[in-house]
């Protein structure tokens, strides 16, 4: 059952949940992470990926995924570490989001 607070965002342009992923050289696991978010039955979310100066194909993978799904946004920054990337992600979320979830690049939602 979806709580009343979350139901109010369903169908609006404001995502209920902001999912923030810091990516650094995670090309081998990032696809599964992104796909696990996109496969959720609850659809009122935004997925913000901060590429933290990756030297592999993580940036390209994230940008291509964002072209496929407008709920996914990608930001690029020089390598400064996961805490800086998470903080940047939190600052770029939709101001109306009710919940935040920090999801590591090697993790998946069920």
Per-residue pLDDT tens for 28-56? 999 999 999 999 999 999 999 999 999 99
Spatial separation of the C-alpha atoms in residues 41 and 33, rounded to whole Å: 15
Locate all alpha helices (DSSP H) within 1-110, ordered by sequence. Answer: 4-7, 27-38, 58-68, 82-91
Spatial separation of the C-alpha atoms in residues 109 and 107, rounded to whole Å: 7
Spatial separation of the C-alpha atoms in residues 56 and 41, rounded to whole Å: 31
Asked if the model's pLDDT at residue 101 lies above 50, the reply is yes
Spatial separation of the C-alpha atoms in residues 107 and 13, rounded to whole Å: 27
Q: Residue 13: what pLDDT?
A: 82
Asked if the model's pLDDT at residue 9 lies above 60, the reply is no
Which pLDDT band holds residue 1 (cuts at 50, 70, 90)?
very low
Spatial separation of the C-alpha atoms in residues 45 and 78, rounded to whole Å: 26
Q: Residue 10: what pLDDT?
A: 53
Q: Residue 26: what pLDDT?
A: 97
Specify whether the CB–CB gap between 82 and 22 falls below 8 A.
Answer: yes
């Amino acid at each position: 059952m979806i709580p009343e607070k979350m139901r109010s965002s369903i169908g609006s342009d404001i995502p209920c949940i902001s999912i923030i992923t810091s990516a650094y050289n995670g090309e081998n696991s990032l696809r599964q992470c992104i796909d696990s978010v996109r496969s959720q039955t609850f659809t009122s979310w935004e997925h913000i990926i901060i590429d933290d100066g990756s030297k592999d194909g993580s940036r390209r993978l994230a940008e291509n995924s964002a072209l496929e799904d407008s709920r996914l946004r990608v930001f690029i920054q020089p390598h400064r570490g996961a805490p800086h990337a998470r903080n940047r992600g939190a600052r770029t979320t939709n101001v109306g989001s009710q919940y935040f979830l920090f999801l590591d690049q090697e993790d998946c939602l069920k």
